[in-house]
């Protein structure tokens, strides 16, 4: 397996507090200040309170799959610029900037791999690339995963972490919702399993399309999952939302997801689910 760079952490400025040039980090949930490597050694989970911080797509692949089994698929796909979009910087330049900054081609890595000896098709969103937004490339790569699942009768596992559809591509990005769901429908008709893992955050057009349509929907503790943000909903319905609304725990209680798996148990959880679903 190709070794990935050690970009195991994706922490925003609001999530990170450091002392001594990064030697220490303060947990945003419990307020404890701990050695930074205590988080790293613990898979970016706070050792005190269990708060889950974001892992990179590369780190997730390292964590989940059998060593030496990763084969990346569909490299070289690059978004077009259907709207000639510019927010002061032309969209193609935004893409190039994100590529240089992240070392990725777009907001998802897809490939073939083995998990506990079982062949799977795996997709992992990279939130650090434009907030994990779904444009034409992400939609195409997800669609191809489902199509390969049908062709090879291999289960599909996708780990989503996204702010939603990519506004710079306009209606083309929204079309990816229908495109991916149509491909997923064909996978379901072929009776090939799809396990959807919802990370923090999974929102917008990704949540409103394939991410909540798994045969089993798994979430990490505390993950934000939903379509519109809480403030938008409150302003629309003019009501105060319940405590913890859109958290993984709230969705589990209300039947929107099937289970919550702590990160250190995710590989074993997925292996067990695939055993049940595939036999």
**74 and 10 in a common domain:** no
Q: Which domain holds residue 100?
A: 55-278
Model pLDDT, residue 22: 62
**62 and 195 in a common domain:** yes
**41 and 139 in a common domain:** no
**257 and 139 in a common domain:** yes
**105 and 86 in a common domain:** yes
Q: Average the pLDDT over 134-161 and give the result.
A: 98
Task: Note the pLDDT tens digit of each residue in 18-75.
Answer: 444 468 999 999 998 999 999 989 999 999 999 999 999 999 999 999 999 999 999 9
Q: What is the CA radius of gyration of the chain?
A: 19
Domain boundary among 53, 74, 92: 53
Model pLDDT, residue 218: 98
**204 and 126 in a common domain:** yes
Q: Which residues contact 252 (CB under 8 A, 6 or more apart)?
A: 219, 258, 259, 260
**103 and 24 in a common domain:** no
Measured distance CA(70)–CA(78) in Å, rounded: 22
Model pLDDT, residue 228: 86
Measured distance CA(57)–CA(7) in Å, rounded: 9
**128 and 42 in a common domain:** no
Q: What is the chain's mean pLDDT, rounded?
A: 92
**40 and 84 in a common domain:** no
Res. 15: pLDDT tops 50 = no
Task: Note the pLDDT tens digit of each residue in 204-217.
Answer: 999 999 999 999 99
**89 and 167 in a common domain:** yes
Domain boundary among 53, 73, 92: 53
Provide the number of structural domains found in the chain.
2
Express as a percent the part of the chain with pLDDT over 90.
Answer: 83
Tokens linked to 202: 């999974």
Range of lowest pLDDT (18-27, 77-86, 95-104, 235-244):
18-27
pTM: 0.89
Model pLDDT, residue 17: 44
Q: What is the CATH number of the domain that holds 233?
A: 3.90.226.10
Res. 1: pLDDT tops 80 = no
**130 and 183 in a common domain:** yes
**151 and 47 in a common domain:** no
Q: Average the pLDDT over 66-88 and give the result.
A: 95
């Amino acid at each position: 397996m190709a070794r990935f760079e050690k970009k195991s952490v994706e922490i925003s400025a609001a999530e990170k507090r450091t002392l001594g040039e990064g030697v220490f980090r303060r947990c945003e949930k419990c307020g404890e200040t701990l050695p930074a490597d205590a988080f790293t050694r613990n898979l970016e989970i706070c050792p005190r309170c269990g708060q889950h911080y974001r892992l990179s797509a590369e780190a997730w692949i390292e964590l989940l799959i059998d060593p030496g089994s990763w084969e990346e698929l569909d490299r070289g796909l690059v978004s077009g610029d259907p709207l000639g979009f510019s927010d002061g910087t032309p969209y193609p330049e935004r893409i190039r900037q994100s590529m240089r900054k992240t070392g990725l081609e777009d907001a998802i890595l897809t490939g073939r791999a083995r998990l506990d000896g079982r062949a799977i098709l795996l997709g992992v969103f990279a939130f650090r690339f434009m907030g994990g937004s779904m444009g034409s490339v992400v939609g195409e790569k997800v669609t191809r995963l489902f199509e390969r699942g049908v062709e090879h009768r291999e289960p599909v596992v996708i780990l989503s972490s996204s702010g939603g559809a990519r506004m710079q591509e306009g209606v083309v990005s929204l079309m990816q919702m229908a495109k991916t769901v149509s491909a997923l429908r064909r996978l379901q008709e072929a009776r090939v399993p799809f396990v959807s893992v919802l990370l923090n955050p999974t929102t917008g057009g990704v949540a409103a399309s394939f991410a909540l349509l798994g045969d089993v929907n798994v979430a990490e503790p505390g993950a934000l999952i939903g379509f519109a943000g809480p403030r938008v909903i409150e302003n629309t319905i003019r009501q105060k939302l319940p405590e913890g609304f859109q958290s993984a725990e709230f969705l589990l209680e209300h039947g929107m997801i099937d289970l919550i798996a702590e990160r250190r148990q995710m590989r074993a959880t997925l292996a067990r689910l695939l055993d049940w679903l595939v036999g």
